[in-house]
Structure 1
Amino acid sequence: EAVEAIVNQHGFEDDVAYGHTKLFVRTPRTLFTLEQERAALIPILVLFLQKVTDTLISLFPLYP
């Protein structure tokens, strides 16, 4: 469902086919666009995870 939402958001409904566990892309343009979006989001997600981890470590120290 999440993959389908991302594909629909970018307007690639006709460029992909859904397998049981895989997404099949017909044109390279679609693949490159999705990879660029992924690469742009990774630093944002890493910062979020670092902030959450730092907060949890400060709230629950391993060694009191």
Structure 2
Amino acid sequence: MGAALLIGTRYTTIIINGNAMDPTYSPGDRVFLERTDVGAVRQGDVVLYQTGDRYEGRACSGV
């Protein structure tokens, strides 16, 4: 049921597959994300973005 609620919304989940965000997030952690506009990003937010030509299309993060 929870997955059905995420379809068609600004929210999604991912599973962390690397250790770049250690110790905040560890490999295997499931993270709940909100899609937002660039103007809504504030200092201290964790930003996840996707690149098509690097990292095999996987999402990347920045702070």
Instruction: State TM-score, norm by structure 1.
Output: 0.24
Name the one with the larger strand percent: 2
Q: Which has the higher helix share?
A: 1
TM-score (norm 2): 0.25
Rg larger in structure = 1
